[in-house]
């Protein structure tokens, strides 16, 4: 046999390798396709199962936020069920007291919203030299098209038919009933999670097949719980502090209902990016409507902006720590996705869910790349 023939690869040897590569590629494509289909199925399930899954997620959100308090009470030899009851009673009492104090100013502001919009429009017109001319032209047009006294008398004498929109009232009652049911389910499930203590983790360890899997499950569970609870707990403290400072500054500046706007700032600060901007815009509108001059009217918004810059650039990184910091792009995408999926509650859940995904990806070798992408 010639040497050239020996150096040529045997076609019979190449055939199995080529067939093996084809099978591997087909298997890889099949796995990726199945993963995409499974992901879409999960998204569809979460979308259509919102009345069930949203209370579950919100209960986990609340339980992980309050977990550091239960640990502190456990050191004082207080059983988990008792500490869960104490925490939820105190928390619900604070929420009820806050709602009762803010109910009147919030309702008043909502009822006067059309008048505020008209007043804001007039203020905007007054900033331009053409504003008085526009008002004069509008008055002239109104006088031209106004009805004559005879027509006005006829119109007054004509019967008025009032159509009552019952569909809107029914929709409002349905929404209120659904929201109340969701709140009750969230409170009950949050109590069960707090009262269970470490029982869910023990159940998870029991179903793992090998010792290595048990250790990994414990590590991932503890890391997720620690990261999310620390993030939510310290974020809640920071947001409460921000709300108090915003309310105090607005009070000294002379803005009415300063406590209401401070509570609004604390709640909106849970929503990244959009929340603080909405709060700044609302406080800016209130300032412009409250004070006669534009410079003084922008002071409340300026105070809010100063506090937001200090909070986002200095306070939050110190309290939350580098370990929980996330990629801004990942936060924005998560915010868009969860807001589309579940609305405002989804926006509140966007960052905690992303923190949990980051921990799982960092602890799983096959998902390490994803964990690196969502990290700051």
Each residue's pLDDT tens digit, 170-222? 655 666 777 788 889 999 999 998 888 777 777 777 777 777 877 877 787 78
pLDDT at 106: 81
Phi, psi of 76 (to 5 degrees): -90, 15
Band the pLDDT of 146: cuts 50, 70, 90.
very low
**Mean pLDDT calculated for residue range 47-72:** 87
Better pLDDT: 151 or 89: 89
Residue 60 has pLDDT above 70, yes or no: yes
Contact criterion met (CB below 8 Å) for 209 and 222: no
Query: What does the block give as tokens for 353?
Result: 């869910």
**Mean pLDDT calculated for residue range 106-124:** 76
* Residue 143 burial by Cβ neighbours in a 10 Å radius (0-12, 13-18, 19+): exposed
Return the percentage of the chain with pLDDT > 90, whole number. Answer: 22
pLDDT at 360: 83
Distance between alpha carbon 114 and the CA centroid of its chain, in Å?
A: 28
Band the pLDDT of 327: cuts 50, 70, 90.
confident
Strand partners, 166: none
Measured distance CA(121)–CA(131) in Å, rounded: 10
Can you give the pTM of this predicted structure? 0.72
- Domain residue spans in the chain? 50-139+179-197, 326-376
Q: Which residue from 239, 259, 251 is spatially nearest to 104, judged by alpha carbons?
A: 259
Each residue's pLDDT tens digit, 220-262? 778 888 888 888 888 888 999 999 999 999 999 999 889 999 9
Band the pLDDT of 144: cuts 50, 70, 90.
very low
C-alpha to C-alpha distances, 132 to 128, 143, 297, nearest whole angstrom: 8, 17, 21
Contact criterion met (CB below 8 Å) for 51 and 182: yes
């Amino acid at each position: 046999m010639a040497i050239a023939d020996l150096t040529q690869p045997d076609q019979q040897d190449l055939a199995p390798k080529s067939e093996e590569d084809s099978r591997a590629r087909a298997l890889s494509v099949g796995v990726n396709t199945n993963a995409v289909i499974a992901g879409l199925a999960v998204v569809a399930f979460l979308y259509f199962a919102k009345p069930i899954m949203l209370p579950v997620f919100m209960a986990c959100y609340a339980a992980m936020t309050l977990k550091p308090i239960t640990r502190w009470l456990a050191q004082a030899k207080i059983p988990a069920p008792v500490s869960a009851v104490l925490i939820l009673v105190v928390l619900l009492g604070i929420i009820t007291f806050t709602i009762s104090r803010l109910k009147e100013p919030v309702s008043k502001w909502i009822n006067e919203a059309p008048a505020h919009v008209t007043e804001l429009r007039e203020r905007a017109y007054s900033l331009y030299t053409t504003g008085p001319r526009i008002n004069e032209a509008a008055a002239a047009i109104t006088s031209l098209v106004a009805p004559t006294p005879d027509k006005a008398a006829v119109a007054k004498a004509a019967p008025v038919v009032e159509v009552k929109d019952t569909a809107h009232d029914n929709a409002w009652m349905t929404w209120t009933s659904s929201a109340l049911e969701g709140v009750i389910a969230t409170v009950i499930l949050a109590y069960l999670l707090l009262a269970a203590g470490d029982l869910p983790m023990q159940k998870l360890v029991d179903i793992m097949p090998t010792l290595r899997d048990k250790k990994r499950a414990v590590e991932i569970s503890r890391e997720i719980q620690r990261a999310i609870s620390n993030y939510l707990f310290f974020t809640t403290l920071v947001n409460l502090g921000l709300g108090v400072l915003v309310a105090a500054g607005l009070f000294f500046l002379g803005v009415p209902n300063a406590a209401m706007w401070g509570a609004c700032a604390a709640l909106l600060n849970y929503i990244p990016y959009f929340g603080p901007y909405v709060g700044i815009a609302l406080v800016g509108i209130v300032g412009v409507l409250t004070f006669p001059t534009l410079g003084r009217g922008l002071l409340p918004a300026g105070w809010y902006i100063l506090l937001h810059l200090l909070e986002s650039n200095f306070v939050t990184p110190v309290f939350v720590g580098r370990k929980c910091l996330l990629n801004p792009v990942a936060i924005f995408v998560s915010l868009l996705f969860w807001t589309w999926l579940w609305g405002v509650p989804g926006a509140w859940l966007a960052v905690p869910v992303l923190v949990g995904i980051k921990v799982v990806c960092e602890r799983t070798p096959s998902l390490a790349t994803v964990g690196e992408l969502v990290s700051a």
